[in-house]
Amino acid sequence: MVITGGSRGIGAATARMAAERGHDIVVSYVRDADAADRVVADCRSAGAAAIAVRSDVAVERDVVMLFDRTIDEFGRVDVLVNNAGILHRAAPLAKFEVDRLEDVVRVNVIGAFVAAREAVRRMSTRLGGAGGAIVNVSSAASYLGSPNEFIDYAATKGALDTMTIGLAKEVASEGIRVNGVRPGLIETDIHASSGIDDRIARHAPNVPMQRGGHPDEVAEAICWLASDAASYVTGTFVDVSGGR
Based on CB atoms, which residue is closest to ligand NAP, 55 or 124?
55
DSSP state of 165: H
CA–CA gap between residue 163 and residue 178 (Å, rounded): 9
Contact 130, 122 (CB under 8 A): no
**By CB under 6 A, residue 146 contacts ligand NAP:** no
Q: Which residues pair with 79 in a beta bridge?
A: 133
Closest to 85 measured CA to CA, from 156, 151, 135: 156
Based on CB atoms, which residue is closest to ligand NAP, 115 or 171?
115
**By CB under 6 A, residue 57 contacts ligand NAP:** yes
Contact 226, 135 (CB under 8 A): yes
Q: Which of 24, 52, 70, 85 binds ligand NAP (CB under 6 A)?
A: 85
Strands 79-82 and 2-3: parallel
Q: What is the CA radius of gyration of the chain?
A: 17
Q: Respond yes or no: is residue 232 known to be catalytic.
A: no
Shortest CB 54 distance to ligand NAP, Å? 8
The residue count for binding ligand NAP (CB under 6 A) is: 29
The phi, psi pair for 89, rounded to 5°, reads: -60, 140
Contact 154, 141 (CB under 8 A): yes
Based on CB atoms, which residue is closest to ligand NAP, 204 or 233?
204
Based on CB atoms, which residue is closest to ligand NAP, 5 or 132?
5
**By CB under 6 A, residue 116 contacts ligand NAP:** no
Q: Which of 56, 118, 217, 239 binds ligand NAP (CB under 6 A)?
A: 56
* Part in contact with ligand NAP (CB under 6 A); list of ranges 50-58, 95-103, 143-151, 225-233: 50-58
Q: Which of 2, 11, 46, 67 binds ligand NAP (CB under 6 A)?
A: 11
The stretches of 172-211 forming alpha helices (DSSP H) are 199-203
Q: Which of 47, 93, 189, 195 binds ligand NAP (CB under 6 A)?
A: 189
Contact 63, 37 (CB under 8 A): no
What residues are annotated to the active site? 153
Which stretches of the chain bind ligand NAP, using CB under 6 A? 4-11, 28-32, 56-58, 83-86, 107, 137, 139, 183, 185-186, 188-190
